[in-house]
Amino acid sequence: MLLILLAWLTAFAPHDFHRVKDREQRPGVRGSFADAMPFAVHLKHPVWPQVPLVLLILGLLLERRQRQRAQRLNRAVLGALPGAVALLDSGGVVLRTHPLPAHGDGPGGLPVRQLLSPGRPFLEVFQEAARAGPPEMDGAVALLRDVLTKRVREGVTEWQGPAAGTWFEMRAHRLELPEGGTFVSMVDVSARRRAELEARQARDERAHLQRVATVGELGVSIAHELNQPLAAILNNARTAQRLLARPPVDLRLLAEILQDIVSDDQRAGEIIRHMRALLRREEARHLHHDLNALVRGVMRLVEPDARLRGADLVLCLAESILHVHGDGVQLQQVVLNLTLNALDAVVPRPVGGRQVWVTTRRVGAAVELVLEDSGVGMSEEALRHLFEPFFTTKSHGMGMGLAISRSILEVHQGRLQAESREGGGCRLRCTLPWVDGPSGDGAP
């Protein structure tokens, strides 16, 4: 309608007004232009001088309409965001919030209205909440202060809420304005945290079941390995009995026999301890470990099985300590899975040609564990699907070992890759971040 009015007004020009005849000052006037159709108008004052005012009004109306549309769009975008958002000035004072603060407890146990109401000093109130809240809230205060002082542009942090099982996430983003300011969003992420916890528990459960199945496959070799120290203990005990029955007693020989009994007992206990570590089900504990110590612990468990298969295990471990951070049992499970897969791969080879090489080394900021076998190798198609669940090239097994190993390494910020080996066989390369610091308890 405004555009039509503008077009109607601009149809008049000053030099055309004299052509409109005023007949006896009657309000109805009949006028025409040379190239226009006759029409009736009501003119009491000249129209052309009012056009700039009409254009100004029209521009203001259009600007207001665009501003209202932009405001509706902003409200729709803010309303679609999860949680609550707030706009702070350079001093950390709340200028605007969306949605309006509701009743209830917020982060640190403070009421939400006290934290997000316009005009409130958000930074000061948040610092007060952090004093009574968990230690993680100190990181949120530091992030907010760094963004307000323009040390960082943006950041995100999470902390545990006052109620059990509640978690909050805060994102802060610096506004690129001359007067400064910060955009802050706070979201209750308890549901996501619970989902992550359930997923982690399910992953740990799958890993535990796979460990139990793997140790079960080693049952024959473990029983054979335990039988040797137990038989030695029995023979030494009977020898000691015979020595005691025939005086005079050779105390030196008796002491040597007793020391052999202690050594064999420790050997059997070490095997049992490693088995229990792999079989027990408990929450993951991430500590510092020496990768070489973890590998040696697995090799002591696997060596009897390798001998029964007629395979040679060749260890090429780094001389220096390779520090890694993670759960020792899960990392040993990865080493066990990769070693057993390599031993399975060399079985088709004739005796004397069944070799498995286990190598550890540091490569820059990473630590590598490489297992190579002299088996028949795999096709390119098999290599592409090797880490998929339930994929296997063996006649036995469920095809879960490598898939679980990769998932464990991903949790530890590591990688697992497979490639063909020159001269036949396969090479599995496991990479973990190297960490600086003393090792923990080594092999569990």
pLDDT in tens, 155-189: 888 878 777 778 888 888 888 877 778 888 888 88
Backbone torsions φ then ψ of 430, nearest 5 degrees: -110, 125
Spatial CA neighbour of 281 closest among 200, 196, 205, 203: 205
Q: What is the rounded distance in angstroms from the CA atom of residue 305 to the CA atom of residue 343?
A: 9
Whole-number Cα distances in Å, 98 to 76, 118, 173, 413: 11, 10, 16, 37
251, amino acid identity: L
**DSSP 8-state secondary structure symbol assigned to residue 105:** B
Q: What is the pLDDT of residues 260-306, one digit of tens each?
A: 888 888 878 877 777 777 777 666 778 899 999 999 988 888 888 88
Q: Which residue has 């910020």 as its token pair? A: 413
C-beta of residue 122 within 8 angstroms of C-beta of residue 94: yes
From residue 36, alpha-carbon distances to 6, 16, 22, 23, 32 in Å are: 18, 12, 18, 20, 6
- What is the distance of C-alpha 99 from the center of its chain? 30
Q: What distance in Å separates the CA atoms of residue 197 and residue 157, rounded to the nearest whole number? A: 18
- Three-state DSSP state, 347: coil
Q: Which of 125, 164, 98 is nearest to 140 (CA)?
A: 125
Cis geometry, peptide bond prior to residue 99 (ω within 30 degrees of 0)? yes
Q: Which of 2-6, 266-270, 318-322, 380-384 has the lowest mean pLDDT?
A: 2-6
Q: Which of 258-272, 382-396, 417-431 has the lowest mean pLDDT?
A: 382-396
Amino acid making up residue 305: D
Beta bridge partner(s), residue 356: 313, 373
> What are 407's two structure tokens?
């998932």
Omega cis (within 30) before 248 = yes
CA 264, 223, 299: angle at the middle one, nearest 5? Answer: 75
- In the predicted model, is pLDDT for residue 368 greater than 60? yes
Burial category of 230 from C-beta neighbours within 10 Å (exposed 0-12, middle 13-18, buried 19 and up): middle
Give the whole-angstrom CA distance, residue 58 versus residue 242. 118
- pLDDT score of 356: 94
DSSP letter string, 114-145: HHHSTTSBHHHHHHHHHHHS-THHHHHHHHHH
Amino acid at 158: E
Dihedral Cα 214, 217, 223, 229, nearest 10 deg: -50
Query: According to the model, what pLDDT value does residue 96 have?
Result: 76
| Helix, strand and coil in the chain, % to nearest 5 | 50, 20, 30
Nearest 5°: phi and psi at 298? -70, -40
**Beta strands 415-420 and 355-363, pairing class:** unpaired
End-to-end CA distance of the chain: 82
Provide the CA 192 distance to its chain's centre, in angstroms. Answer: 12
Please state the rounded mean pLDDT for residues 391-399. 67
pLDDT greater than 60 at residue 7: no
Alpha carbon distance 116, 94 (integer Å) = 7
Least confident of 96-100, 282-286, 330-334, 358-362: 96-100
Q: Which helix (H) or strand (E) holds 384?
A: helix 380-384
- State pLDDT tens for residues 78-102: 666 667 778 888 888 888 777 654 5
pTM: 0.55
Question: Percentage of the chain with pLDDT > 70?
Answer: 75
Domains of the chain (ranges, CATH numbers): 79-189 (3.30.450.20), 286-436 (3.30.565.10)
Using CA atoms, how far apart are residues 122 and 110, in angstroms rounded to an integer?
12
Residue 249 is given by DSSP the state P
Place of tokens 């030695």: 232
Tell me the residue type at 365: A
pLDDT band of residue 437 (cuts 50, 70, 90) is: low
Residue with tokens 């950041």: 155
